[in-house]
Amino acid sequence: MNVSDYDFELPEALIAQTPLLERTSSRLLVLDRSNGRIEHRSFTDLEEHLNPGDTLVLNDTRVLPARLFGVKSDTGAKVELLLLKRLEGDTWEALVRPGKKIHKGARMSFGVSVSDHGESGGSGDGGNSENGQANVPPLLTAVVEAEGEMGARTIRFEYEGIFNELLERLGQMPLPPYIKERLSDRERYQTVYSRNEGSAAAPTAGLHFTESFLERLKEKGVKLCPITLHVGLGTFRPVSVDTIEEHEMHAEWYSVSAESARLLNEAKESGGRIVAVGTTSARTLETVGQRFKGSRIEACNGWTDIFIYPGYEYTMVDALITNFHLPKSTLVMLVSALAGRDNVLNAYREAVEHKYRFFSFGDAMFIK
């Protein structure tokens, strides 16, 4: 199956650079996968398309401020570090820039105290300050322990204090490279139901929801089911091979609680629809479906590298809320596996024609 079969023309002007002031003010393209019929609606019209007894599955991961700017400890040259996933303890998989100059054994410094009053600088200077306070230890040091594929590095951190607090202090939100504007409010790249820190990117379909809109859905009888999948950048990378079968997904950590397993079992037993909010929720649900193979779902966690593309038969997901994705991406393939390639590409053509906003801060699609 050719990757080029999932290409489409996308004007750069349709790539949303900033979030809307009101989360629920996005547009909603509704696609009926049984016949390809399309409706152009507003996001809050989703309420009309959800029924009492439907279960809305929400990825409650929280994005880490995973982009760090600092210096090489030996030369003072500027470096950039992007955390992808925690491997264990203080060891992470990360991307580094400039990758060609950062090899095994390299040390990088982030954040150096430069004040007698305990203030700190976010970028750091490797331990030498202009005010004469030399050799002040950095707040955070990273050591490269191994080199991986595609610019990845295994990084071990050294620090005093609490790592997540240092990351909140020093890090920036890891916005995708197609977003050029600076984000003024970090929380606009978090869902309102985010709880469990660990993602390198937001589950962006969830950015459209507000707490009040979720309450409205609950009052209608829609059940909310949180699950967790810590999103890695591999999910969003363009496919670099010619045929789909050659592509390998990066593994991501997922978790389903006992309460969420109960809600999913109830939905299956009662005949209600399981509605995945985003492709990350869909991948988690299908991973769980394969793990238990038709038997009752139980609390579980682990790593998943499931790759969903046309020919795949969904076992858990009945409907999907999603954003508009990159051409030739694994996410377009996942959506096409649910709704059919022709239906999806036709819907994308209409979205372009009607000037929908694309990608992370863009508009939404509901596939029913």
Residue 221 lies in a domain: yes
Q: b or e along 313-323 (b: 16 or more beta carbons within 10 Å of the residue's beta carbon)?
A: ebebbbbbbbb
**According to the model, what pLDDT value does residue 223 have?**
98
Residue 281 lies in a domain: yes
User: Do residues 270 and 359 make contact, with C-beta atoms less than 8 angstroms apart?
Assistant: no
Total domains, the chain? 2
Please check the confidence at residue 90 and state whether its pLDDT lies above 60. yes
Interatomic CA distance for residues 148 and 244, integer angstroms: 23
Domain housing 143: 67-112+137-172
Counting residues of the chain whose pLDDT is more than 70, the rounded percentage is 92
- Answer yes or no: do 206 and 339 share one domain: yes
H-helix or E-strand spanning residue 59: strand 55-59
- Answer yes or no: do 149 and 236 share one domain: no
Average pLDDT over residues 59-88: 92
Residue 130 lies in a domain: no
Average pLDDT over residues 281-286: 98
Average pLDDT over residues 48-72: 96
**According to the model, what pLDDT value does residue 236 have?**
56
**According to the model, what pLDDT value does residue 175 have?**
87
Q: Which CATH number do you get for residue 92?
A: 2.40.10.240
Residue 131 lies in a domain: no
DSSP state of 183: P
Please check the confidence at residue 228 and state whether its pLDDT lies above 90. yes
- Answer yes or no: do 344 and 215 share one domain: yes
pTM over 0.95: no
- Answer yes or no: do 245 and 277 share one domain: yes
Residues facing 215 on adjacent strands? none
184 vs 196, residue with greater confidence: 196
